[in-house]
A and B are shown apart, each in its own frame.
Chain A
Amino acid sequence: MKNPKKLRLSLRRREELLGYLFTLPFTVGFVLMFLYPFIQSIIFSLSHLEISATGYNLLSVGLKNYHQALFINADYPRHLFETVVAMVRDVPLILIFSFFAAILLNQKFRGRLLARVIFFLPVILGADIILQMESADYMTALLDGTVDQQMLGFVSRGELRELLMHLKLPDVLLLYIIQGSERLAEIIRASGIQILIFLAGLQSIPDSLYEVAEIEGATGWEKFWKITLPLLSPLILTCVIYSIVDFFTSPTNPLVAFIDSHAFGGAGYGVSMAMSWVYFLLVAVVLGVVGAILSRRVFYMD
């Protein structure tokens, strides 16, 4: 109590020290288990790598691996392009679906707990090995195939198509929705975490806001556009980023499988590292662009 100013300063210093101490595991792990291999991978992508029983040798080859990946390999650029197109096609669907599902699950109805348990199930069941085996599986193709032809839940595909025709939507949109409905199972599977995030967000919106709006005479439609959507917009950004990353790193993504088969299949580690790096830079550019566009539209309450 002699010198309050000094005491406060030392408290401040103590807090800093504790902060460094608590986050130390990550700092150490980041440097050794992430940054170090991360830098090594840059070097590997510029080298020819040979592994023997006693160690590995690096021979610098400059940009040859990148040249090999981009201009000599026949499949890589095509895979790269297709992956980005598939991402642009799927992420909006995943987002719309998970938003919609979260709003459904937030309403009160009988069996809501069971519905939530089932909706989160894909988070548990999405093992790489299961997805890989299913994609080549006879019975899955047989049973799911017959179901798919017959119906999507209750509405048959033909009926859906006819209904959409009547709505006189533009052809591009029509095609997009129909193709999306054909991949409904995949979309739903990729939405587990996003539903979780949106649901948690919906529950954090204070009821008083809706009550005030009701007193002022707002309709459900207005409440959605003026309250729900703006308050959830930061989460939309989070979910978009999560969906993009999840899509790009998913083991069922053909490009990831393609790169993996190069790394441990003997076509040259250097080339596969170069492929990974081109891919990563592309992902970074996509994330940067999307993040920059969306973050300008995000609304923060405080």
Chain B
Amino acid sequence: MNTRRLQRLTWSLIRGMIVISICFVILRPVLTKLASSFMTEWDIWDQTVRWVPRSFSLENYRAMFEFMRYPQAALNSLLFSFTIATAQLVSCTIVGYGFARFRFRGSSFLFGLVIFTLLVPPQIIVLPLYLNFRFFTIWGLLPEPGLDLIGTFWPFVLMALSATGLKNGLFIYILRQFFKNMPKSLEEAAYIDGAGSFKTFLTVMLPGAIPALVIVFLFAFVWQWNDYFFTSIFMRNGTMLAHTLDIAAESYAHAMGTTLTGQYISLLNNTGMLMFIAPLLLLYAVMQRYFVESVERTGIIG
């Protein structure tokens, strides 16, 4: 009996060490940013400074706040990500429910196409998509040059509403899986009580699917916030946080009329990156308990 307890104790010690080590590796980039954000250039040259700066300063934050145009850009990113994520959530939920609950000819073929959209690298379709939006004729309805949608929200809105936005195939998959696992008797009871298909979907199925909806919304929001590939192509002079972060250090140097050392640019960039991820960390901190619990209950299972 004693050896058994000893065994268990040893394992929990080893497990603790492993978990803490991995957490440290994951948190290290954040710690790096945090440490460098308070440094001045002197601290870089000071050989005794590693993580904790000697001349503590908020100058990096001030500079990046101004040159990332932080309040405006963060608000833009927030509104944009929120709108697109909501649109994606609505369309993917409807489609996912359709795949989960109705049997129709060609449904498994159509679902295969959902998975197919996930497997194709976005590089393949991004250039034709760009041209379609640059000369937008509603696929032949308008006369030739058409509308120029580049630089607007419309490409993203159209893709989100038609469930073909960023990783939407994954969302359809998750939601279909979740709806499939919900007991059928719920709907049957609603049908017997005289509710139609749409009413049943809205009042019975949706409230029961909240854990899955939370996960999908969080993913959609975060991936939209983080996206640089599509936004940099469809909105070249965008004022989203990812864009202003990319050029902030450069425009700071330009405004100062000097060239900055690579080291100082690195401090600025680290501060900027921290300010970029801070809202996401905040969102995650607020939703984490819900998120982690949802993971357990949704069972994103193949």
- The docked-state distance in angstroms from the alpha carbon of A200 to that of B177 is 12
- Choose one: A16, A204, A251; the contact of B102 (CB below 8 Å): A16
Whether A200 contacts B122 in the complex (CB less than 8 A), given A104-B15, A143-B32, A185-B28, comes out as: no
Task: Decide if A259 touches B277 in the complex (CB within 8 Å).
Answer: no
Q: Which residue of B lies closest to A248 (CB)?
A: B121
For the complex formed, measure the closest distance between the CB of A1 and the CB atoms of chain B, giving whole angstroms. Answer: 16
- The docked-state distance in angstroms from the alpha carbon of A165 to that of B18 is 21
- The docked-state distance in angstroms from the alpha carbon of A127 to that of B299 is 25
- The interface centre, meaning the residue of A38, A117, A130, A287 with most chain B CB atoms within 10 A of its CB, is A130
Interface flag for A51 (CB, 8 Å) = yes
Interface flag for A260 (CB, 8 Å) = yes
Interface size class of A (residues with CB under 8 A): 35 or more
- The docked-state distance in angstroms from the alpha carbon of A145 to that of B120 is 35
Interface residues of A in 91-138 (CB under 8 A from B): 101, 104, 107, 109, 111, 113, 115-130, 132-134, 137-138
- The docked-state distance in angstroms from the alpha carbon of A154 to that of B21 is 7
Q: Using CB atoms and an 8 Å cutoff, list the residues of chain A in contact with chain B.
A: 15-23, 25-30, 32-34, 36-38, 40-41, 44, 51, 54-56, 101, 104, 107, 109, 111, 113, 115-130, 132-134, 137-140, 143-144, 146-147, 152-154, 184-185, 188-189, 196-197, 199-201, 203-204, 234-235, 237-238, 245, 248-249, 251, 256, 259-260, 263-264, 269, 272-273, 276-277, 279-280, 283-284, 287
- Choose one: A23, A28, A118, A256; the contact of B23 (CB below 8 Å): A118
Q: Tell me whether chain B's interface is mostly helix, strand or loop, or mixed.
A: helix
Complex interface: stretch among B65-73, B110-118, B251-259: B110-118
29 A-B contacts, Cβ less than 8 Å apart?
A21-B98, A23-B99, A25-B91, A25-B95, A29-B161, A30-B113, A36-B132, A40-B128, A54-B135, A55-B135, A55-B145, A101-B22, A113-B292, A120-B292, A126-B226, A127-B225, A129-B245, A130-B276, A137-B270, A138-B265, A139-B32, A139-B35, A140-B32, A153-B20, A196-B295, A256-B123, A260-B123, A276-B124, A277-B124
Give per-residue flags for B121-163: 1 if the beta carbon is below 8 A from chain A beta carbons, else 0. 1111111110110110001000011000000000000110111
Task: Decide if B121 touches A280 in the complex (CB within 8 Å).
Answer: yes
Question: Besides A234-B302, A283-B119, 4 other CB < 8 A contacts?
Answer: A23-B107, A25-B91, A32-B139, A238-B302
Whether A143 contacts B23 in the complex (CB less than 8 A), given A15-B102, A27-B110, A29-B164, comes out as: no
- The docked-state distance in angstroms from the alpha carbon of A146 to that of B299 is 40
Task: Decide if B95 touches A23 in the complex (CB within 8 Å).
Answer: yes
Q: Which residue of B lies closest to A13 (CB)?
A: B104
Whether A44 contacts B301 in the complex (CB less than 8 A), given A22-B102, A248-B121, A287-B119, comes out as: no
Task: Decide if B120 touches A280 in the complex (CB within 8 Å).
Answer: yes
Q: Which residues of B contact A139 (CB under 8 A)?
A: 32, 35-36, 44, 263, 266-267, 270
Lowest 7 A-B CB distances belong to which pairs? A153-B21, A29-B162, A22-B98, A19-B102, A19-B104, A127-B226, A37-B128
- Choose one: B145, B222, B295; the contact of A199 (CB below 8 Å): B295
Q: Which residue of A lies closest to B196 (CB)?
A: A18
- The interface centre, meaning the residue of B98, B104, B123, B270 with most chain A CB atoms within 10 A of its CB, is B123
- The interface centre, meaning the residue of A117, A132, A237 with most chain B CB atoms within 10 A of its CB, is A117
Q: Which residues of A contact B269 (CB under 8 A)?
A: 133, 137
- The docked-state distance in angstroms from the alpha carbon of A133 to that of B248 is 12
Task: Decide if B135 touches A121 in the complex (CB within 8 Å).
Answer: no
For the complex formed, measure the closest distance between the CB of B64 and the CB atoms of chain A, giving whole angstroms. Answer: 13
Whether A44 contacts B12 in the complex (CB less than 8 A), given A15-B102, A16-B102, A30-B164, comes out as: no
Task: Decide if A249 touches B122 in the complex (CB within 8 Å).
Answer: yes
How many residues of B are in contact with the other chain, CB < 8 A? 100
- Choose one: B127, B162, B302; the contact of A32 (CB below 8 Å): B162
Whether A203 contacts B299 in the complex (CB less than 8 A), given A30-B113, A33-B159, A121-B284, comes out as: yes
Q: Which residue of A lies closest to B12 (CB)?
A: A109
Q: Which residues of A contact B245 (CB under 8 A)?
A: 129, 133
Whether A273 contacts B127 in the complex (CB less than 8 A), given A30-B113, A125-B280, A146-B50, comes out as: yes
Task: Decide if B162 touches A26 in the complex (CB within 8 Å).
Answer: yes
Task: Decide if B226 touches A20 in the complex (CB within 8 Å).
Answer: no
Give per-residue flags for B56-88: 1 if the beta carbon is below 8 A from chain A beta carbons, else 0. 000000000000000000000000000000000
Task: Decide if B15 touches A109 in the complex (CB within 8 Å).
Answer: yes
- Choose one: A140, A153, A283; the contact of B29 (CB below 8 Å): A140
Whether A34 contacts B125 in the complex (CB less than 8 A), given A140-B32, A197-B300, comes out as: yes
Interface flag for B19 (CB, 8 Å) = yes
Q: Which residues of B contact A130 (CB under 8 A)?
A: 226, 273, 276-277
Task: Decide if B302 touches A235 in the complex (CB within 8 Å).
Answer: yes
For the complex formed, measure the closest distance between the CB of B138 and the CB atoms of chain A, giving whole angstroms. Answer: 9
Q: Which residue of A lies closest to B267 (CB)?
A: A139
- The docked-state distance in angstroms from the alpha carbon of A117 to that of B269 is 26
Q: Which residue of A lies closest to B20 (CB)?
A: A153
Q: Which residues of A contact B134 (CB under 8 A)?
A: 51
Q: Which residues of B contact A147 (CB under 8 A)?
A: 28
Interface flag for B246 (CB, 8 Å) = yes
Task: Decide if A125 touches B15 in the complex (CB within 8 Å).
Answer: no
Q: Which residue of B lies closest to A238 (CB)?
A: B302
Interface flag for B296 (CB, 8 Å) = yes
Task: Decide if B292 touches A256 in the complex (CB within 8 Å).
Answer: no
- The docked-state distance in angstroms from the alpha carbon of A204 to that of B298 is 10
